[in-house]
Amino acid sequence: MKKSASLLLYIAFFTVVVPHRLFGQPQAPESPAAGPGQSLSPRHDFYQYANSETFKSAWGRTSTQSNADVITKLKQLSEAAAAKRGAKGSDEQLIGDLWFTGMDAETLNREGIAPLQPYLDRIDKINSTQDLMDVVADLNMDTRRDSFLFDWIVWRDDDNRKRLVLRLSPGGTTGPGLFPTANPNAERFRAGFRTYLQKTFMRLHNDENKAISSAEAVIDLEAQMARAFGPPTAFTAVTLSELSGIAPSIDWRRYFKKIGLKNTDAVVMQGQAYFRNLGELIRTVPLSKWKDYLRIRLLRVNVGFLDDRTQDEFFQYDRIFTGAEKPRDRGERVVRHLEARLGPPMTRQFFKVHDLGAVKAYYQAIAEKFRGAFRTRIETLDWMTPGTKANARKKLDSMLLTIGYQDALRADFRTMDIRRDVYARNMIRVNRWINQREIARAGTIVDRADPGLSGMPRGDAAYNHQNNEAILPVNNILYDHGRDEAVVYAKLSPLGH
């Protein structure tokens, strides 16, 4: 949003202001002067308008300011929901209880990493490749599904756009950029990674020599995984039999059953070389190394939901990449967690608390004007055949224009289990709910009112191509309604993209 707005300003400056200043071109005919209490309009004289105080006032806040304002409002909204203690399953209850546990520093620091102990105990008991993959299946469901060995997502089938399929792709490593010697920063990154690993394993093992050994084991294993990443490749359909041939050391049918994938005999895969290498590593690398890999990945993926010590140790490592001087305050961190997992409820509650029904309708009407203008352009194109125009009109007419959130979203968050106990345990339950719901969509027909659980309150205007949906988040609409429509159109330029 910010880049598009900046581009528009540059265009305006170099096509209107610069010619007047540099080349001595005459000023445009004088427009009616603005009287007391009136404002210049860009419709009358854009040059005067672009150089006026009216323009500065009309342009309003930057996207950074809007983002910060929305975060503050989301904090206030979450605090109010926590104080109200809404009915079980309501948006207020889900937001309030998750916020409460995220902000409960006393409980977070008392619990430490104890909420993860059941998983650490299971990792300790791994005695076979089958045990390894069973634990990975549960971790993929209870945390982020891209954090252990590989990534999966439910997406439209490129060969049948009406059907959803499971996509597999490389994942579950610190990142290939950490290991290649061609990266000039790789050695510094590895040194920071090693320090972080040793501190974390010291906490787990309480033995310095064992901590050093475990850290080196993880570095070596992740380096071997990263080497097979390679450039992104096209997604290709593979049967379960073919998948077993690519990585035979993984019992794929058992894994898919564990995560709840049903009624499928094929998936879509990217990066077959990575999976071949992964299968070979699972066959040859000692289970002790895989256990250390799982332990560190478990803590890293949950670090934001644990005690201050765990978060600070990770921040000291992460700042090597980000350059951040200090971590975000707890309230902002928790709001970001809530956005990622409770996006639609957060957005609905935001519209309700701030009474934005009329604003939503205003921007919906603006979006329809974009659609109308695009339809006119299609009709007047001389290079497009009648058949192509008909297809373009069909896609345009079926496009969803979502302001904030879908009114008809099918996701029923009332069944999500959020309690006032411990933040990390809440996140485990929430992640399983999200991932179970996601995996259940695989193999089904596309339902455009069920595009997944997207719909965060903040962000740039975006286009979800698999759902043919243009989305305008809250921070794009909060401050500009009621301004001159020329400004509104300019600031909504990503919607036109």
**What is the length of the chain?**
497
User: Does this model's pTM top 0.75?
Assistant: yes
Q: Which two tokens stand for residue 231?
A: 């450039």
**Residue that is written with structure tokens 């478990």 in the block:** 298
Neighbours of 145 (CB within 10 A): 21
Query: How big is the CA angle at 204 (ends 423 and 202), to the nearest 5 degrees?
Result: 125
| pLDDT less than 70: residues of the chain | 1-64, 175-182, 408, 451-455, 479-483, 491-497
Rounded CA-CA distance 146/334 in Å is 21
**Tell me, what's the pLDDT at 389?**
94
Rounded CA-CA distance 343/328 in Å is 20
